[in-house]
Amino acid sequence: MFDPGMLRYIVLQHIAEQSRHGYELIKLLQKQSGGLYSPSPGMIYPMLAMLEDLGQVSAVSEGNKKLYAITRQGQEFLDQNRAMVAAIEKQIAVRCSDGAQQVRERLHLLRDAVCNRVREHQLLPDQIRQIEDVLDKALTEIQAL
């Protein structure tokens, strides 16, 4: 859903709203995407370390966790890039709209139906070709939209 450049802006924006822990950011991004995206710790924690190295966030240790807060330099960076942040937030809203989510749900249902049919039934070669034909036709029609 995000390339690392986009993620940087969104993470910084969320920290600007209030100080946050890395795990809290993961859950917040998951919620923001309607459950469609959950960044891995392997994406979030290096991003937070980079933001800290850039002086855009500061971290305070709280036991085995760190609480990240935006710095003046980080806020200035966000202020200079308001249009970019707004564009990314709009893109997230579109990708996570009800319509987009319904399409993804149908895709998952289709995938499950095909996998279940192939796994649970001993299909004849002709039946496998029929499934391939249906999938090829759907692919062609979607690409033509």
Per-residue pLDDT, 2: 60
pLDDT bucket at 106, cuts 50 / 70 / 90: confident
The span from the CA of 19 to the CA of 135, in Å, is 47
Per-residue pLDDT, 4: 60
Per-residue pLDDT, 83: 93
92 or 42, higher pLDDT: 42
Token pair 């709280």 is at which residue? 62
Contact predicate 28/11, CB 8 Å? no
Give 32-90 pLDDT, tens digit per residue: 777 777 788 999 999 999 999 999 999 999 989 999 999 999 999 999 999 998 888 88
pLDDT bucket at 100, cuts 50 / 70 / 90: low
Q: What is the pTM of this model?
A: 0.65
105 or 18, higher pLDDT: 18
Contact predicate 45/22, CB 8 Å? yes
Question: What's the mean per-residue pLDDT of the chain?
Answer: 87
CB atoms within 10 A of CB 110: 13
Determine whether 9 is exposed, middle or buried from the number of CB atoms within 10 Å of its CB (0-12, 13-18, 19+): buried
The span from the CA of 10 to the CA of 70, in Å, is 12
Contact predicate 103/37, CB 8 Å? no
Per-residue pLDDT, 29: 87
